Amino acid sequence: MPNLIIGSRGSKLALWQSNWIKEQLERIHPGLVVEIEIIKTTGDKMQEVSLAGLAGAGKGVFTKEIEDALLDRRIDLAVHSLKDLPTVLPDGLHIAAITERVDVRDALICSETLRGKVKAIRDLPQGARVGTSSLRRRAQLLHLRPDLEIIELRGNVDTRLRKVDEGQYDAIILASAGLIRLGFGERITAKIEKGEMLSAVGQGALGIESRIDDQRTNMLLEALNHWPTRYAAEAERAVLRELGGGCAVPIAAFGLVKSNQKGERLTLEALVADVDGKTLIRKSAKGSAHEGEAMGLQLAESLVAAGARELLAKRKEENAEQTERTEQTESQKRARTEKAEVEQTEIQQEARTEKPETLLSVPSVTSVRSIPYSDSEAVPVAESEVESVDPEKPLAGRRVLLTRAPKQSSEMTRMLQKLGAEVIACPTIEIKPPTTWEQLDYALVHLSWYDWLAFTSANGVEYFLRRLDELGHGRAELMSHRVCAVGRKTAEKLASEQIAVDVMPERFTAEALVEEFIKRFGVGHRLRGSRMLLPAAKVTRDVIRPAMEKIGVHVEVVEAYQTVLPSMSGAEAMKLIREANADYIIFTSPSTVGNLAAILETDHLAPHLANSRVACIGPVTSDAARLHGLEVHLQPKEHTGQAIVRALAVDSLQR
């Protein structure tokens, strides 16, 4: 079967959830290959803003960018914590499946000094500092314990646990489900029963979003529906939808389905509170699970009749004020950024000179005040700072950490050393044959089905041709296929194997490939309906398939090799990085970033690379670096090893 692509946030919990759905789908549907694409959302980009402040960014601050990718057909499905999913979805999208709920309760995590003394909220000491990002939790905490000091808490689960360990909080509250899924169940001091704290709408369940018209994906997802959970969650969401709430309003609801002689029965509870917890309205209802949505609407009406509307109106006024403050702050940030960009443009225009004649040549420094480089920002440099630099060895005295696989890094290493750099190998990726040749073998047997062969890496070329030879196929079989290559190195590898390349974009992105196809062949009958085989790694970010399918080319991605973690331990990697104290670290693919984070067992790499300038090949790699907390200093427009080496050389002269 063709691949399915899951869109996911980049947090450790979101990736755990997406990988779990991937495993379930591949288990239920043998032969199906599911891949994950990380998408950064507005909520991820605004970590310094409270969740209440994020209300001004619009509905779905943790889902909008993922939903845009769904509607653009860049991904096939999205996996969400159901509690993060707005009750009103964009036109064309729906919840295809809701998984079985795990522990729905909130969890109290106390500092080390309190762990042996606290068994419930009532046991917290007078005036204890409690961290939470949820207005729902804040309201219910203050309703129970008005003396508590509630402090805003943002960040991923690791960060939040670290903050309580450091003593910034006496206790924090997180969802039990997320802690258990990430293996932090032992950190829970106490689980808070629903009598004290009612859970968020949809808490503990995963919601899988897809396009309504994507019948195939919807059919594959149907098996993941857990109907007792779905009935309960839809009733909860009906309450929230009718009240018009979200993460910026203290609303809670929990439904539970049980079977008896009368069939499946639903018990539904819901509450609305003010932020300070002084007023709390709580109602419940019972009925048939199959009528859960109608029951949720009736329960919302009951809450409104008891005064919920007044509480919500007051909160909306407060949200509007918070939104105005947030927008003013963001506007000030944008103004500062725009001013800096204008100043930078003026500097570049004043200092503009011709580009170096060769890929590795660098400008003379004899009288240079600013070294221009069209692929990255030009930074003013005083003459006194560069007088002592040997223009033939611009990287002399610089240490460069290289994360590429050893087999692929030799040429880049030679280029860096030629310019004077000391190169320290820190391979975070290893290339191996695929887990099974089954997919590729099947494609090779039916090679005549395909009009095009596409390669996105030299590794794809190498392993494709190796298997072609091992199965006894002649290279002559490839003569009837047109070939496209993404990247100069890929094209050079094909040329070395005497395979002609028909299409190679000047820029190395899926969009550029589509543009090249349209320029060469148009979008008429010559392309529409044709088939393309793309041998790649299983974890390859599949952006070519959805891009090409928009112009009528069906792309089938098959596993030809795999990228795996090297045998290096976290302790070894930390020792190497610490001793290297490198001036630069080069990441050549998203996998090199993600694998380093996996080796070091962290999702925040910045503390480990605080003294190194980060250089990335391509925007996708840069996005991966930023998702792991890094600032990207260098990203040349050309996605090649030569370009990254040249960028380092120019940057070194500027510093």
Active-site residues: which are they? 84
Q: Are 447 and 423 in contact (CB under 8 A)?
A: no
How far apart CA 121 and CA 137 sit, in angstroms, is: 12
How far apart CA 488 and CA 652 sit, in angstroms, is: 25
492: left (phi over 0), alpha (psi -120 to 50) or beta: alpha
Query: Are β-strands 4-8 and 77-81 bridged in parallel, bridged antiparallel, or unpaired?
Result: parallel
How far apart CA 467 and CA 465 sit, in angstroms, is: 5
Which of 252, 240, 238, 250 lies closest to 287, judged by CA? 238
Polymer length in residues for the chain: 655
User: Distance between terminal CA atoms of the chain?
Assistant: 52
Specify burial of residue 417 (Cβ count, 10 A radius: 0-12, 13-18, 19+).
middle
How far apart CA 596 and CA 429 sit, in angstroms, is: 8
- Token code pair at residue 501: 């390349």
How far apart CA 287 and CA 16 sit, in angstroms, is: 35
Q: Are 478 and 499 in contact (CB under 8 A)?
A: yes
How far apart CA 375 and CA 618 sit, in angstroms, is: 12
Which of 30, 32, 5, 190 lies closest to 103, judged by CA? 190
- Give the torsion sign (CA, 139, 140, 141, 146): positive
